[in-house]
Structure 1
Amino acid sequence: MIEAGLLFIGLVAGIAAAALAFRPAFRRYARTEEALKADNEAKNAQLIDLNRQAAERAARCAALEEKLLYQQAEAERERARRTEEIAALQEQQRLAFKNLANDILEEKSRQFKQSNRESLESLLKPFRENIEGFRKRVDEVYDKEAQQRFSLKEEIRSLNEMNRRMSEEANNLTRALKGNSKVQGDWGEMILETILDSSHLVKGIHYFTQENLKDAAGNNLRPDVILNLPDRKQIVVDSKVSLTAYVAYTESADPDEASRAVKNHLRSVRSHIDELGSKRYQALVDSPDFVIMFVPNEPAFLLAMQYDPTLWSDAYNKKVIVSSPTNLFALLKLVDDLWKRDKQNKNAIAIATEGANLYDKFVGFAETLTDLGRSVSAAGEKYERAIKQLKTGSGNLIRRTERLRELGVKATKDLPAQLSDYDDGDPLPGAQDGRSGLQVEKNNGIG
């Protein structure tokens, strides 16, 4: 009985000792479990917030799309109305010109000669004014419509792109963080390609990827992107990813470890700047004296700028401009706008050239018409002189010819009615008694 009691006491003592021995482990386990729960709750809260933001942006996108559809419909109606106005104006000018030409051709010779210069001047002046007013109005309507459509479309596109990138970046960044440097580099190039696609720039025209360049020593260099500008200028854009130290910073709970991670991150960014600056890409293409180093992770870019205020200026002194996705997107929109303005300028030059050619052509026609008027006037004067010789004055040709009929010449045709109002002149001898024809016949018979 005593032995059983001692055995029980020993068992209890052993259990108590074991509990004391494992108590620290239990506490660590409890703390770990609490930390995991807190981290899980924070991520759940972040996910809820992201879902809310996505829903808000989706609602804004829907409203803006509805507004865009309405404005497009309004623009289409306005364009149709302008088209009708232009057609009516062209028809009006055509009819006016036709009527004016008919009036000119129907004018008498003398009146045309006197009013020729004034008529042509009055014809050219409204034509010039109409063309100038029409051109200004078309430019104003086009510029206003283009600005409104561009602004609204870009806002919708930016919001849609932002929503899409938020989802893709979270997944892609997770995969990149778990991979090696090659995976991170590919991820950075993918982000760069995505931003280029969303900027309306056309691959193969406005930019090229992975183009091979050779430096003075014959070494092959392959920048990620060569961005084309108007007037045959180019800018090199190269993606550089610095994520390892940044991830260590975000995951560090210890201030000292976080500080070391920030220093490593800055060291990595500066190393990329030095590497890119040493390649001197801008000397290999017709480029402004700088290259763009694209940092695809916006928080990593902001962290570097926050802890090293001189980083950007130091990079600029090395002919390198450090750019985040937001900054690069703004730059690409500026490049897209430069291309649009270049196209508009070329169109304006073509329109001005065509207008000048049209005006010169019309002036040539007006000069030809003026020469025609002079010819018509001269022909009219000659015609009047010929008519006078034919039907007016003493001894005119018509009177002399008609006297032949009076003298007994037999004819099968009569003079036109418009020539019947000739001057009679002096009568021939023997014509007063109406016997001249008989006398001629008698004389002919006697002879």
Structure 2
Amino acid sequence: MDIVIAVLSLLIGVFISYYILNKKLLSLSEKNIQLKTTLEEKEKNYAEKLEFVDQLKTQVNSDFKTLASDILKNDRDKLKVDNSDLLTPLQTQLKSFRERIETITKEQIEERTSLKEQIKSLHEANIDTQQSAQNLTNALTYDNKLQGDWGEEILSSLLSSYGFKEGVEFDLQKQYKNEAGEKFKPDVILHLPEGKDVVIDSKVSLKDYVDYMADQSNEEALKKHITSIETQIKNISIKEYENLEGVRSLDFIFVFIPIEGALLLALQQKHSLFDDALKKNIMLVSPSMLSMSLKTVNFMWQTDKQNKNADEIARQAGKMYDKLAGFFNDLDKIESQLDKTKEGFSDARKKLQTGPGNLIGRAGKLKALGVKSNKEIGE
């Protein structure tokens, strides 16, 4: 009996244990299912969040790239603006500098071209002069009058080639008197600025020079050629052109020898000839030597004209300044008169309208007392 009870108790305990364990197992199974479901949901949520993160990452990357691009673009635009602000004045200065360089270069080219043309003209004039001299020498040799006219023509041509005008910058064969009343006709009187004059004589005989050139063994002709020049120097010094009335001559006179070779030959044979002439205040000149002097005279005239223009500009500027000062004085007077007029108008308005006891106020009082009127003040 005890065994049966023990077995039954054991079976009951086993059953109860099985029941409890089975219940727990069912509970655990349910929880497992719940946990599994929860895990699946969490995994699903995680996957969704992961996908969202990926999308967000992609969007952030895209937005960052767009933002970076915008920033770079804005920086480039700002840099362009800043560079434009910095470079525009520099470009303007460079443009101005380039234009100035181009202007200076153009002026230099024009000056060089002008100088080349003057040198070319001088060279051609000298060649023409020498060629003409050689061609005409034989015809002029034995006719002193024709020879003198020819020398004057060469001299006049040289003067004209430098822009000098007869009757303005120089006079040709104009008659003058000295203090004794004697009459003289210098070949050329070249006028300088400030009333100074240069006398140029061209009456040197070339007959003996031509004879010597035809036969260079003819020493006698060579001596006569030198003597002819010395004689002309003496004759010129005796005439004392510097004492002619109306002539303000410099301290020396030019003796013009129209053929270069004629003067060079004489100077080679007698080295003291030039100094001897200078002692008598006479300067021997050939076409090329005279050309250099004429160029200097031409420069003097140009400088004188520029100075006169500058003086005239200064004079006109002074007049304009005086007029401007007078204009401002008149404006001050007008302003003062306007101020007085304004003050007078203000006083009149006070008496009429705004001041104590003004007329409009008095008229209003009269109207208030019964004075009839068809209009109101201000209509």
Is the pair's TM-score, using the shorter chain for normalization, greater than 0.5? Answer: yes
| Pairwise CA distance, 1:181 | 2.8
Alignment map for 1:309-324 (pairs within 5 Å): 309-324=271-286
Determine the structure 2 residue equivalent to 1:307.
269
User: Pick from 308, 323, 336: which aligns with 1:374?
Assistant: 336
Q: CA deviation at 1:272?
A: 1.1
Q: Which residue of 2 aligns with 1:203?
A: 166
2:359 equivalent in structure 1:
397
Runs (4+) off by over 6 Å: 143-149
* Structure-2 separation of matches of 1:149 and 1:282: 40
Q: Distance in 1 between matches of 2:228 and 2:120?
A: 36
Whether the 8 Å contact between 2:251 and 2:281 is mirrored in structure 1 is: yes
Contact 1:234–1:287, Cα closer than 8 Å, also in 2: yes
Q: Distance in 1 between matches of 2:128 and 2:366?
A: 107
- Of the three residues 220, 227, 234, the one matched with 2:197 is 234
1:346 paired residue number: 308
Q: Choose which of 108, 125, 136 in structure 2 pairs with 1:161.
A: 125
Aligned to 2:378: 416
Task: Say if 2:312 is the partner of 1:328.
Answer: no
Instruction: Find the counterpart in structure 1 of residue 206 from structure 2.
Output: 243
Overall identity of the aligned pairs, in % = 36
Unmatched runs of 5 consecutive residues or more in structure 1: 1-139, 418-447
Kindly tell me the number of residue pairs found equivalent between the two proteins: 272
| Counterpart AA for 2:206 | L
8 Å contact kept, 1:176–1:183: yes
Distance in structure 2 (CA, Å) of the matches to 1:168 and 1:404? 115
Q: Is the 8 A contact 1:235 1:282 kept in 2?
A: no
1:278 aligned to 2:238? Answer: yes
Deviation at 1:217, TM superposition (A): 4.1
For residue 393 of structure 1, report the CA deviation from its aligned partner: 5.0
1:136-172 deviation digits (Å, cap 9, x = unpaired): xxxx9xx999967864553353244345435433322
Render the CA deviation track for 1:327-346: whole Å, top value 9, x for unaligned. 21222232233223222222
**Aligned: 1:175 with 2:139:** yes
- Looking at structure 2, the residues matched to 395 and 145 of structure 1 have their Cα atoms a distance apart, in angstroms, of 85
* Cα 1:145–1:227 shift into 2, 3 Å: farther
Task: Decide which of 255, 258, 269 is 1:296's aligned counterpart.
Answer: 258
Cα pair distance change 1:163/1:308, threshold 3 Å: closer
Given residue 382 of structure 1, which amino acid in structure 2 is its aligned partner?
G
Shift of 1:299: 0.7
Structure 1 length normalisation: TM-score? 0.55
Q: Identify if the C-alpha distance between structure 1 residues 187 and 392 changes in structure 2 by more than 3 Å, giving closer, same or farther.
A: closer
Question: Which one-letter code corresponds to 1:329 in the other structure?
Answer: S
Give the partner amino acid of 2:132.
E
CA offsets 1:102-153 (integer angstroms, 9 cap, x no match): xxxxxxxxxxxxxxxxxxxxxxxxxxxxxxxxxxxxxx9xx99996786455
Whole-angstrom CA distance in 1 between matches of 2:229 and 2:235? 10
C-alpha change, 1:249 and 1:371, in structure 2 (3 Å) is same
Q: Partner residue of 2:187? A: 224
Gaps of 5+ in 2: 1-103
Correspondence for 1:214: 177
Q: Report if aligned partners of 1:240, 1:296 keep a CA contact under 8 Å in 2.
A: no
Q: Take 1:145 and 1:232, find their aligned partners in 2: how far apart are those partners?
A: 35
Higher gyration radius (CA): 2
TM-score when normalising by structure 2: 0.64
Contact 2:200–2:255, Cα closer than 8 Å, also in 1:
yes
What SS does structure 1 have at the residue aligned with 2:371?
coil
How far apart in 2 are the matches of 1:263 and 1:269?
Answer: 10
Secondary structure of residue in 2 paired with 1:273: helix
Which residue of the partner structure matches residue 318 of structure 2? 356
Two-structure CA RMSD over aligned residues (Å): 2.8
